[in-house]
Structure 1
Amino acid sequence: MNLLFHWLRAFAWRWLDKIDLPLLLGLLGIMAIALVVQASAWGDPAAALKHGVRFALGLVALVLLSRVSPASLREWTPLAYLASLGLLGLVFLFGTGRSANLWLDLKLFHLQPGELLKLSVPMMVAWFLHQAVLPPRWGSLAVCAAIIGLPFALTVLQPDLGTGVLVAASGAFAVFLAGIAWWRIGLFAGLGLAALPIAWQFLMPYQRDRILVFLDPETDPLGAGWNIIQSKIAIGSGGLAGKGWGQGTQSQLNFLPEHTTDFAFSVFAEEFGWLGVAVLFSLYLFVVLRSLWLATQARDTYARLLAGALALAFSVYVVVNAGMVAGFLPVVGVPMPLLSYGGTSAVSLLAGFGIVMAAGSYRRSWGG
């Protein structure tokens, strides 16, 4: 028994010494809620097992990446960026999906390259800015725009506007954390608003319908407005304490579409109410704040920018999905991180937190 104890302690010290325990506990709390929600949404507790396997794979990636020094990760960044772009290119040739070609069917599992870009794009931006003069000047901003713009354009052409926007946001956060001047941020925001009428012309018909329905869901209650109307009913009917696990009528009676993926949060809100939502959002907030704190502990510019960008991007994923299912934002097909069913998303998110932990564990020397 003593020998086993010493072996386990040695194993933990060898592989888990870079793990940030508070952040891991926050993530485990979210994952536990996710398994409960998925078991209810599928109507079969055993169905959540597959989601649990994906979490296990993601945790393995988290542990492994937490042990990779930021300096080593920085060396591999250009290759990771090019590889994810290459996989995205393969989607146009061999991609599968219901309404858009988003996945590569690898037989054992489906790979969504767009999820990988949420990691590789901020990695590449941080890699470039690590060598640049900060705050970034116009030349550096132009290079960052190209790094972000190419995968954004390719993702939107799939078409997957929601993932494209999130990929762009993850890269933009790295630029923001590099200290870009506020007047430049205002200028880019103004240019973006001015380009909206032009962008409207390039949207797919169903994407335009989603925006129009967002403004007034009752214009097509049995068509494009159905999802958001049913989602709002589910969230509102949950009340303070919810209807109880497995008792949500909107999901159990199949009124709520995509209740295991994009609208998993609606299932949770209906069954556990606002008290449950408060607990879940508290966990999300803790994970984001802890990740940002770890980013401040990073040794170099690359690690600080990357860890901070991943933390802020994670917060945007939460806000966009919550706003989408509650009717405050258009439906753009963005899952709730870790809560929604999705293999590539879960593994890539947990891998990203492994990078955040590595950034915090390989700390700079504050004594000089």
Structure 2
Amino acid sequence: LFRRYSPYLMLFGIFLLTLVLLFGSSSGGAQRWLDLGFVRFQPSELMKVIVPIAIASILSEKTLPPKPLPILISIVAIIAIVLLIAKQPDLGTSLLIGASGVYVLFFSGVRVQLIKYNNWLNFGLISTLIGGSGYIAWNYLLMAYQKKRILTLIDPSSDPLGAGYHILQSKIAIGSGGLLGKGIEQGSQSQLNFLPEHTTDFIFAVIAEELGFLGVLLLLSVYGLIIYRCFIISFESEDTFSKLLGASLTLIFFTYIFVNIGMVSGLLPVVGVPLPLISYGGSSLITLMSSFGIIMSIRKHKTPSYLSNL
């Protein structure tokens, strides 16, 4: 069903993103929402599921690894979505959604090889492309606040009451938790409101402060179990589309965990990425549950082992 309607889903998603740019409602300097009167939602959240479905459908039409034409179509579609979301502006979400499409390309067997049989030259060319892209992005594409976030990552103490405040308070909360934590609702940073966004993006710091290292270890163990099980379901599926879609959705789930924890720990720039299954928020939770529903559907439609040998 997903595969059959994936082109229409992609067109519908692009249509919604275009409506956001034309008629979207603004908040905090960003135009990311569509207000229909009875509901206000963020179309970019839908693309977190639509993009992997569409790219998996394109690449699974023929045998893997895919031919150049499906790869080209996929790359063009990914770039179009990324640019539409980055225009809102929402650079963090656009890059993560772009990554979701790249993950499908990766699992399909696509490899970057500019010159055949010369790995060192390939490495040099790819490094040059990445460096050149970074230079262009820094000087011509990134906005002032986005540059400030990157510079703050390097030295958050340079602006302790401004751009670096979030990271500094988050580090204090994480470090003060110790082994066992301070106890539920006993964390000074969160309960006294020193830590901003402590129910959404920075909730991992609250967990570390109140439950300590052991609480964090338990949370990461649960995440690891979910990721392991989802990968098993994906790789045991019987068709290429399900394998690509399930594996990419699982890797997206891991990416959001990695980015959120890295952001809260001061290892990555601050971006608006919630901690899956923990952070407060409706739209991100709906998207996540949709992804899990798709993976469960893949498992449900797998032929039982006692019938597969008949």
Q: Calculate the TM-score normalised by the size of structure 2.
A: 0.90
Q: Is 1:291 aligned to residue 230 of structure 2? A: yes
Size of the aligned set, in residue pairs, is 297
Which of 185, 189, 194 aligns to 1:255? It is 194
> Counterpart of 2:166?
227
Which of 73, 78, 86 aligns to 2:15? It is 86
> Following TM superposition, by how much is the alpha carbon of 1:276 offset from its aligned partner in structure 2, in angstroms?
0.7
> Following TM superposition, by how much is the alpha carbon of 1:107 offset from its aligned partner in structure 2, in angstroms?
4.5
Is the CA contact (8 Å cut-off) linking 1:338 and 1:345 kept in structure 2?
Answer: no
> Following TM superposition, by how much is the alpha carbon of 1:174 offset from its aligned partner in structure 2, in angstroms?
0.6
Greater helix fraction, Structure 1 or Structure 2: 1
Is the CA contact (8 Å cut-off) linking 2:230 and 2:246 kept in structure 1?
Answer: yes
For 1:121-270, list aligned pairs within 5 A: 121-181=51-111, 183=113, 191-201=129-139, 202-270=141-209
Q: 5+ unaligned residues in a row in structure 1: which ranges?
A: 1-71
> Counterpart of 1:98?
28
In structure 2, do the counterparts of structure 1 residues 96 and 290 end up closer, same or farther at CA, with 3 Å as the change threshold? Answer: same
SS state of the match for residue 102, structure 1?
strand
> Counterpart of 2:118?
none
For 1:350-365, list aligned pairs within 5 A: 350-363=289-302
How many percent of aligned residue pairs carry the same amino acid? 45
Q: Give 1:175's aligned amino acid.
A: L
In structure 2, do the counterparts of structure 1 residues 190 and 213 end up closer, same or farther at CA, with 3 Å as the change threshold? Answer: same
> What are the Cα deviations for residues 83-122 of structure 1, in whole angstroms up to 9, with x where unaligned?
2222222222222322312222344543111111110001
> Counterpart of 1:39?
none
Q: 5+ unaligned residues in a row in structure 2: which ranges?
A: 115-121
> Counterpart of 1:279?
218
In structure 2, do the counterparts of structure 1 residues 251 and 106 end up closer, same or farther at CA, with 3 Å as the change threshold? Answer: farther
> Following TM superposition, by how much is the alpha carbon of 1:182 offset from its aligned partner in structure 2, in angstroms?
5.7
Is the CA contact (8 Å cut-off) linking 1:235 and 1:270 kept in structure 2?
Answer: yes
Q: Give 2:28's aligned amino acid.
A: R
Q: Give 1:112's aligned amino acid.
A: Q
Say which is worse superposed, 117-126 or 135-144, in terms of deviation.
135-144
Is the CA contact (8 Å cut-off) linking 1:221 and 1:229 kept in structure 2?
Answer: yes
Q: Give 2:301's aligned amino acid.
A: Y
How far apart in 2 are the matches of 1:250 and 1:138?
A: 53
How far apart in 1 are the matches of 2:62 and 2:133?
A: 29
How far apart in 1 are the matches of 2:153 and 2:217?
A: 25
How far apart in 2 are the matches of 1:75 and 1:310?
A: 18
> Counterpart of 2:271?
332
Q: Calculate the TM-score normalised by the size of structure 1.
A: 0.77
Is the CA contact (8 Å cut-off) linking 2:24 and 2:32 kept in structure 1?
Answer: no
Q: Give 2:71's aligned amino acid.
A: L
How far apart in 2 are the matches of 1:204 and 1:270?
A: 33
